[in-house]
Amino acid sequence: MPSMTGFVDFNPEQDIPRLDGKVIFVTGGTAGLGKASIQALVKRGASHVYFTGRNAEAGNTLINEMKKTHPSVGLTFLEMDFLSLASVKKGCDSFVHDRLDLLMCNAGIMFKPPALSQDGYEATFATNHLAHALIIKKLLPTLLKTAETPNSDVRLISLTSEGWAGHPKEGVNFSTLQTTQNALFGKLTRYGQSKLANIVYTAEVARRHPQIMCASVHPGVVKTDLVNNLSLSEKALVYGANWLMGVTLMEEDQGCLSQLWVAAGARRDQLVNGAYYRPVGVQSNSGLDKIATSQEFATKLWTWTDDALAKAL
């Protein structure tokens, strides 16, 4: 079974305890790791799963597939475009349960061409960080209320990436976040700063609300659309870097193990609140740099995010 720091031998079908009665919210559930996670969580008896995406057809297909094998599960697809905070807010307003046991902030984009969100922010940061910050803000009261109920085990998981290390030296380039940040190596730094923000913001939620077990998770390198749709040179970069690190490319059912272990497989007392995990179950805070562990930077990110959300809504 899992150790605190070692590689975990984890089989979701055996090792995730029954999830009967649990309400779960997964962002980016229409494809890739989010979809694979939903399939695994439903198999373990989750009572109701909300999931987000833009692709309504893929959302409905997943619901129909899951309903065939698990007719009693509740599944709600919330159509949201993370490039619009108004769209994210509208989707969150359709969350109607009075409990939420697990929020998995999974949706993400990588190496997209320079662009702005509808609210005028750099698109990768807007999608990977800002939209999730709004979802966390909207669902936090329900998470906190659930944490007060007897025997609860409320968790918040954010998908990050080893690519966090590509952040600019100041962590996030706040002064140009309302531009496309179309600089040399811009795609690396845009993705890097967004994935750094996922780690730092999640750790800050843990500090502010320790009753919620929070963690950020790197899944490994997985053959999802995120990777499959890269250009040849981008694939060479990703595969090359991972080959050098001795990392193998995974299928989706293996790639979702890291997030599933932290979200539901690990006992609460096996986790470190606010920590960063590599696959599978390897607590890796010692691999973070000064910025990723700086309280000053975390406070700056939190304040900037609050201001941006207040301005947009």
Ligand X SMILES: NC(=O)c1ccc[n+]([C@@H]2O[C@H](COP(=O)([O-])OP(=O)(O)OC[C@H]3O[C@@H](n4cnc5c(N)ncnc54)[C@H](OP(=O)(O)O)[C@@H]3O)[C@@H](O)[C@H]2O)c1
Nearer to ligand X, 221 or 291 (CB): 221
Nearer to ligand X, 76 or 152 (CB): 76
Q: What's the token pair of residue 114?
A: 């320079």
The least CB distance from residue 98 to ligand X, in Å, is 25
Residue 225: count other Cβ atoms within 10 Å of its Cβ.
10
User: What minimum distance in Å lies between the beta carbon of 244 and ligand X?
Assistant: 16
Instruction: Give contact residues for ligand X (rule: CB under 6 A).
Output: 28-34, 53-55, 58, 80-83, 106-110, 127, 159, 161, 218-219, 221-222, 224-227
CB of 90 to ligand X, least distance (A): 13
**Interacting residues of 69 by C-beta distance below 8 A, sequence separation 6+:** none
| 222: three-class secondary structure by DSSP | strand
Q: What are phi and psi of 243, to 5 degrees?
A: -60, -40
Q: SS3 for 77?
A: strand
Minimal distance in Å, beta carbon 33 to ligand X?
A: 4
Question: In terms of CB distance, is 127 or 181 closer to ligand X?
Answer: 127
Indicate the residue among 57 and 296 with the shorter CB distance to ligand X.
57
311 DSSP 8-state letter: H
Q: Classify the phi-psi angles of 289: left when phi > 0, otherwise alpha if psi is within -120 to 50, otherwise beta.
A: beta
* Residue (92 or 107) nearer to ligand X, CB: 107
Task: Report, in Å, the least distance between residue 223 CB and ligand X.
Answer: 7
Q: Are 213 and 153 in contact (CB under 8 A)?
A: yes
Residues shown for the chain: 313
